[in-house]
Amino acid sequence: MNYKRFLFAILILLIIISGIYFIGRENPNNSVSSPEPSNNSEVTKSEGSEFLMDTLVRVRIHDENSEQVLDEVLNKLSYLEDIFSKTIEDSDINKINLNAGVKPVKVNEETYKLLEETNKFAKITDGVFDPTIGPLVSLWGIGTEEEQLPSEKKIKETIERVEYKKIEFQENNKIFLAEKDMSIDLGAIAKGYAADYVISYLNEKDVDSAFINMGGNVSVHRDKVDGSLWNIGIQDPVRNRGNIIAAVEGEDISVVTSGNYERFFIEDGVRYHHIINPETGYPARKGIISSTVISNNSSYADALSTSFYILGVEKSFEIAQEMEDVNIVLLTKDDKAYVSEELKGQITFTVDDLEIIYR
Ligand code: AMP
Ligand code: MG
């Protein structure tokens, strides 16, 4: 009798242990929580990661409600991906693209706002930043199975379908792409917009501290829990991922890098990457191999880092110097780093084979 009870108890124990194991594995956000050693004993840390917006998004929240905040942040990011993605079938962007030249489409408020933002950057950069870059992105197919070096003729034809002025903003959050076969691609700004969106939620909830990493886009909310500043690395464009060329210190900032190492293919010794100059129809070739923008505003940092990559050193400094809170680090093929003067004291270079030029 006792023996049977013993076996029964073992069986129950096994069921409980395997239950815990599977619940742990099926946690959809892949998140973990732990108490944070700090002055405030209530503060806990929660970390989570998810593949969103074509990149591995990693989020770290320090707050007394860190777990709920983390869940909400990941939900918000997933919502934005659902409306901004050009591959998700019923996303706002896909609906606009499918109805190009046919009819206006009613979109979510966030999509309308983001498209208005893109208009602003297109104007600042004289059309170098162009959210209707879609047809050229598809033609090159960089990072997809269809990547190819297109013919000159095809490139010339496709450029004709890229023109941000043909996005019509109508009442009631309606967007109309004026011509057939045009398409919108928000790859150059969506992550920055998403980071700002999340940061504004963290402010609203008065969250203690947070770190958001979306590939080349890093944003921090406030300072670290111990009161020190965050250190954000700038990826080395030549060496493997994880190696940095510099670290930027700060709180409440966003550091966004565009580089030719993100997505590319090589043909006859030439590297064709994913940042396309809408004037030529070819991947940008102004001597820059990585362009970083540091700003409080992540949409600015994202849109401008892509634009500066195309514009080259001179024009980029001209634009950045006219704007408040836009500082840059441009790395060129000839191992030079052109750095905004304002970053002196805030940036530390960790490699010694770069010539550093403050301006
Ligand atoms: P990022 O990684 O932020 O520099 O953005 C690069 C992505 O933006 C590309 O993969 C394209 O989806 C898109 N893109 C490429 N060229 C342009 C351009 N000239 N203007 C706007 N978006 C672009
Ligand atoms: Mg960008």
Q: How many angstroms does the Cα of residue 218 sit away from the middle of ligand 2? A: 12
Q: How confident is the model at residue 95 (pLDDT cuts 50, 70, 90)?
A: very high
- The region, left, alpha or beta by phi > 0 then psi within -120 to 50, assigned to residue 222 is left
Q: What is the pLDDT of residues 188-245, one digit of tens each?
A: 999 999 999 999 999 999 999 999 999 989 999 999 999 999 999 999 998 877 899 9
Q: How far apart are CA 151 and CA 294, in angstroms?
A: 37
Mutate to test the pocket of ligand 1, among 85, 191, 275, 307 (most ligand atoms within 8 A of CB): 275
Domain that holds residue 51: 32-66+190-358
Q: Give the E-state strand segments of the chain in sequence order.
A: 32-35, 44-52, 55-63, 105-106, 167-170, 174-177, 209-214, 217-221, 230-235, 244-250, 254-259, 264-267, 270-273, 288-295, 327-332, 336-339, 347-349, 355-358
Same domain membership, residue 154 and residue 38: no
Ligand nearest to the CA of 119: 1
Q: Would residue 81 count as lying in a domain?
A: no
Q: How confident is the model at residue 70 (pLDDT cuts 50, 70, 90)?
A: very high
The mean pLDDT of 280-297, rounded to a whole number, is 96
For the chain, the C-alpha Rg in angstroms (whole number) is 23
Last residue of a domain, one of 127, 152, 177: 177
Same domain membership, residue 228 and residue 328: yes
Of 96, 48, 104, 54, the closest CA to residue 73 belongs to 48
Residue 171 sits in a domain whose CATH number is 1.10.3980.10
Q: Is 108 helix (H, G, I), strand (E, B) or coil?
A: coil
Last residue of a domain, one of 142, 177, 212: 177
From residue 218, alpha-carbon distances to 66, 176, 248, 278, 305 in Å are 19, 32, 11, 27, 13
Q: How confident is the model at residue 37 (pLDDT cuts 50, 70, 90)?
A: low
**pLDDT over threshold 60, residue 136:** yes
Output the pLDDT for position 8.
57
**pLDDT over threshold 60, residue 17:** no
Domain count, the chain: 2
Of 142, 141, 139, 144, the closest CA to residue 157 belongs to 139
Q: How confident is the model at residue 16 (pLDDT cuts 50, 70, 90)?
A: low
Which residue in this structure is represented by tokens 């593949």? 51
Q: How far apart are CA 146 and CA 25, in angstroms?
A: 35
Q: Look up residue 145 and give its DSSP letter.
A: T
Output the pLDDT for position 24.
32
> Which percentage of the chain shows pLDDT scores above 90?
81
Stated pTM of the model:
0.90
Output the pLDDT for position 33.
73
Q: Would residue 47 count as lying in a domain?
A: yes
Same domain membership, residue 215 and residue 165: no
Same domain membership, residue 124 and residue 270: no
Last residue of a domain, one of 154, 177, 200: 177
Which residue in this structure is represented by tokens 């499918």? 98
Same domain membership, residue 158 and residue 251: no
Q: Which residues surround ligand 2, an ion (CB under 5 A)?
A: 188, 302, 306
Q: Output the ligand 1 site: residues, CB below 6 A.
A: 128-131, 133, 137, 185, 187-188, 258, 262, 274-276, 278, 302, 306, 310
Same domain membership, residue 305 and residue 200: yes
Q: How many angstroms does the Cα of residue 36 sit away from the middle of ligand 2? A: 33
Token pair of 69 as six digits: 């905040």
Q: Would residue 215 count as lying in a domain?
A: yes
The mean pLDDT of 88-93, rounded to a whole number, is 97
Output the pLDDT for position 92.
98
What phi and psi values does residue 252 have, to the nearest 5 degrees? 50, 45
Same domain membership, residue 307 and residue 211: yes
Q: How many angstroms does the Cα of residue 5 sit away from the middle of ligand 2? A: 64
Output the pLDDT for position 19.
44
Instruction: Write down the H helix ranges in 293-349.
Output: 298-311, 313-322
Output the pLDDT for position 222.
98
Q: How far apart are CA 263 and CA 251, in angstroms?
A: 30
Q: Would residue 184 count as lying in a domain?
A: no
